[in-house]
Structure 1
Amino acid sequence: WVPGGAPACPALCTCYVSPPTVSCQANNFSSVPAGLPPGARRLFLQNNVIGALRAGTFGPSTVTLWLYSNNISSIQPGTFRHLPALEELDLGDNPHLRVLAPDTFHGLHRLQALHLYRCRLASLPSGIFRGLRSLQYLYLQENGLLYLQDDLFADLANLSHLFLHGNRLRALSEGVFRGLSSLDRLLLHANRLASIHRRAFGGLARLTILYLFNNSLVALPGDPLAALPSLQFLRLNANPWACDCRARPLWAWFRRTRVSSSPVPCASPPHRRGTDLRHLRPRDFDACPEEDDDDEDEEMEDGNGGGGNGVAVMGTPGRALGRPGTLPAAPPSAFYRDGLPP
């Protein structure tokens, strides 16, 4: 509680001394309340109806800033520019936040977790994540993203968790994940993915969990999974897999790895419908021609695969006020649905 001589606590809010915390959650505030103590390290403003964020509102001591489940539709340039200590920023579940300026998060060199789930973002501007070299967790699920341009994540060398499920991505291009050398978990399920460039996962040497289920994948030409030496858990179910000659690269990859995988049920041809692709036999491919890698590249680049089109995002539920001290080794289980990994 605020001691004598300390700045007054804003009306309808609760303030704590150690660590310096201001809790203004669920008070129907339409704007950030005035008079926030400048030394506050944790600001909890979630579950209000705040519509806009303005520069100069938050003090430089802020480490944790929760603004999820509001009505935010605009963020003034410079709002987060002078927050050198900020480690966690949660803007999730703001369905009116549809556009972000390229420099919205510039200068947040200590930011470790950025939550942008369920904001109806159809696209992300080039450079939006520039300079966020401390970022470890990035939540972009359930936004309606249509595409991701190459090098969007190029500065995120320390990112370990990337959540892109529940969007409208249709393709993954060659450079979409370039720079993510520390990535451990990549969730791309519940999108509309129909093509993945054979080198889309290049450089993800530490990736252990990959979710591609509930998409529109018929085949994976060019063996893109071969670039993932650390992969342990893979989900490919709920895709219309063609178990003809196009299945051979994926089938061959399964034969040389020991990855824990979901079933991969065939959708075609009719006589193989329901068969697990992993359980096909070598003689099922006897009539198939030898593959031409160059042809596969051309197919990916000239067909559905190029252009940086996308990945999907499913959703992170809003959180109740908790104790956001140091970031956990793995994200809270509340961020996962339907059996996603803890």
Structure 2
Amino acid sequence: MSLVIFTAYFLLLLLPHAPAIWSCTRSCPPSCTCTQEKNCSVLCDRVSMIDLPKEFPCEAASINLDKNSLKFLSERAFGTLPLLRSLSLDHNNISFITPGAFKGLPNLLELKLAHNEYIRYLHTRTFTSLKRLERLDLSDCNLFNMPDRIFIEQISLKELLVFQNNFRRVPGTLRGMENLTHVYLERNKIEAVAYNSLLGLSNLKYLNLQENNISVIHDEAFKDLLRLENFYLNDNLLVDLPQEAFKSLSNLKMINLGGNLLTNVSKTWFSDLVELEVLYLDRNRLVYFEEGAFQNLTSLITLHLNSNNLTTLPFTVFEPIYFIGRLYLFRNPWGCSCGLKWLREWMDSYKLVRDIPCASPSSVAGLDLSEVVYAHLNGTCVDPPELNLTTPVPDYTTTENKFNSLISKLLQQELREEMINSTNALRNGTQQDSAESQVSAVPGLCALYKVLLLVLLFQAQIGFLSDCINVC
């Protein structure tokens, strides 16, 4: 009896939703799967679909058509679906979208058209009637540009993903879209950011321009990005930046300038970035920081300076962020003289830095900075070369080889002369005189060796040659 009551109660709970459930599944397109949890979802992905179904459940809240072979979207391609919130058409073969293809979807919030390599052109009226659209994904297509007025009705658009296309400039259609919060433009072919490229984007929080060909940034190009928090400019061709490139970006939390061609850091670049927490300057060609370059970075937690051409890091430049959380300095040709003694002490005290291999001076080359010992003479720090190595170390092997070669040559020359003298003596029948001449030649030869050894000793400072002189 209790089971019957429970079943009846359960059916009563389902009764108000029953029409929607039955409608969602009853009108499900062939080859698709329709489910009703909170909303009606239509799953038509990976079914080798060539043409769109003639109709979808009118209660559909989301439709997934990913990884099919769709090529063409006609006008009102999806009919009228007033409840549709999300439509995904990723990884198809779409080459043309008829103006008005998305009419009849007045409440669509998310549209995904990524990874359609044949989309090269979009009509100005492609997205007509999608007035509530908040997120549009056109990444990894073959777009070279977009019409300036293509988003004239998309006043609610917040996220625009157009990375990995063929844009040579920042699309002009972005100007004035004050509701945009996230823009993804990475892996395009953008060469410059003009002064008016990003005008009016006053609510933008995330901007990704990494892996382009940007070599020029105009003055005040970012002046309207007052709420920007995350900024990616890494892996471009920047040799320099405008003196006040990031002026007024007081809300910036992270900026990535790694993988460029920067050699110097100006004290004006980061002067307004009081909220900056993470700064990437890695994989550049940095050799110099202007004093005061980091003085206003009072919130900085992590600084990446690895993979540059840095030989020193002056304390006067670094002092304002002395208590930074993480500092990355590896892959630089560090000169571990007294100029880095402060950093050595900081490493010991805070244990926040490691892997700082010394490239010079030669006495500590190959050591990590943490292993270098500094000493003081009359209250002054003594550089490792003065402390550990006062004279150059001779190459014993090379010098000894030269010595043996010279001795061998001299011996051969003397033997030849003695053989000639002996032969002449035998011819003249004066064998006794020849023996005496050989004995008398020994002191002369020894004297010659002494002179040679003294010269070598003076030049190479090899102690073992002194014994040779004493033997003679």
Task: Confirm whether residue 22 of structure 1 aligns to residue 111 of structure 2.
Answer: yes
Distance 2:326 2:217 in 1: 28
**Does the alignment pair 1:191 with 2:284?**
yes
32 and 253 in structure 1: CA distance in 2 versus 1, 3 angstrom threshold: farther
Instruction: Write out aligned runs for 1:148-227 (5 A).
Output: 148-227=241-320
Contact 2:374/2:382 (CA < 8 Å) preserved in 1?
no
Change (3 A) 1:62 1:112: same
Report if the CA contact (8 A) 2:254-2:277 is conserved: yes
By relative contact order (CA 8 Å, sep 6+), the higher-ranking structure is 1
Amino acid at match of 1:35: T
Question: Offset at 1:230?
Answer: 4.8
In structure 1, what is the equivalent of residue 23 of structure 2? Answer: none
Instruction: Return 5+ residue gaps in structure 1 as ranges.
Output: 289-342
Q: Quote the Cα distance in structure 1 between the aligned partners of 2:170 and 2:216.
A: 16
1:89 is matched with which residue: 170, 183, 190? 183
- 1:255-275, CA deviations, whole angstroms, 9 ceiling, x for partnerless residues? 6x5251131111001110122
- The answer as to 2:217 corresponding to 1:124 is yes
Q: After superposition, what is the alpha-carbon deviation per residue over 1:166-223, rounded to whole angstroms, capped at 9, x for unaligned?
A: 1111110111111001001111111110111221111001100111011000112343
Pick the aligned partner of 1:262 from 334, 339, 354.
354
Change (3 A) 1:161 1:259: farther
SS in 1 for 2:343: helix
Asked if structure 2 preserves the Cα contact closer than 8 Å seen for 1:171 and 1:196, the reply is yes
Distance 2:257 2:102 in 1: 35
How far is 1:35 from its partner? 2.0
**In 2, Cα distance between the equivalents of 1:180 and 1:199?**
13
**For 1:31, which of 114, 121, 125 is the aligned residue?**
121
Q: Is structure 2 residue 157 aligned with structure 1 residue 62?
A: yes
Aligned partners of 1:113 and 1:137 also within 8 Å:
yes
Say if 1:211 and 1:259 are closer, same or farther in 2 by CA, change over 3 A. Answer: farther
Counterpart contact for 2:226–2:248, Cα < 8 Å: yes
Aligned residues: 285
Decide whether aligned partners of structure 1 residues 282 and 47 sit closer, same or farther in structure 2, where only a CA change above 3 A counts.
same
The normalised TM-score by structure 2 is 0.56
User: Structure 2 CA distance, aligned partners of 1:223 and 1:248?
Assistant: 13
- 1:54–1:75 Cα contact (<8 Å) kept: no
Q: Describe how 1:179-328 pairs up with structure 2 within 5 A.
A: 179-254=272-347, 258=350, 260-283=352-375, 286-287=381-382
**Greater share of residues in helix:** 2
State the AA in 2 paired with 1:87.
T
CA contact (8 A) 2:106 2:132 kept: no
The worse-fitting range, judged by mean Cα deviation, of 242-251 and 41-50 is 242-251
In the alignment, is the contact (CA less than 8 A) between 2:227 and 2:251 conserved in 1?
A: yes
Give, in whole Å, the separation in 1 of the partners of 2:322 and 2:343: 15
CA drift at 1:80:
1.6
SS in 2 for 1:174: coil
- Structure 2: how far apart are the matches of 1:259 and 1:18? 54
CA separation of 1:162/1:74 partners in 2, compared to 1, >3 Å: closer, same or farther? closer
CA contact (8 A) 1:60 1:82 kept: no
What is the one-letter code of the residue matched to 1:65?
A: L
- Pair 21,130 (structure 1): closer, same or farther in 2 beyond 3 Å: same
Q: Which 4+ residue blocks in structure 1 deviate beyond 4 angstroms?
A: 5-10, 12-19, 252-255
Segments of 5+ residues of structure 2 without an aligned counterpart are: 1-61, 63-77, 88-95, 384-472
What amino acid does structure 2 have at the position aligned with 1:166?
G
CA distance in 2, matches of 1:117, 1:17: 34
What is the identity percentage for the equivalent residue pairs of Structure 1 and Structure 2? 25
Contact 2:174 2:198 (8 Å CA) reproduced = yes
What's the TM-score, normalizing by structure 1?
A: 0.76
Please give the alpha-carbon distance, in whole angstroms, between the structure 2 residues aligned to 1:253 and 1:147. 31
Partner of 2:168: 73
Q: Partners of 1:141 and 1:17 in 2: how far apart?
A: 38
Change (3 A) 1:277 1:50: same
Between 1:12-21 and 1:201-210, the stretch displaced more is 12-21
Give the Å deviation of 1:253.
Answer: 4.8
**Does the Cα contact within 8 Å between 1:185 and 1:207 map onto a contact in 2?**
yes
- Say whether the 8 Å CA contact 1:53–1:75 is kept in structure 2: no
| Equivalent residues of 1:207, 1:230 under 8 A apart | no
Q: Is the 8 A contact 1:232 1:259 kept in 2?
A: no
For the 8 Å contact 2:107–2:133, the answer to whether it is kept is no
Query: Is the contact made by 2:347 and 2:370 (CA closer than 8 Å) also made in structure 1?
Result: yes
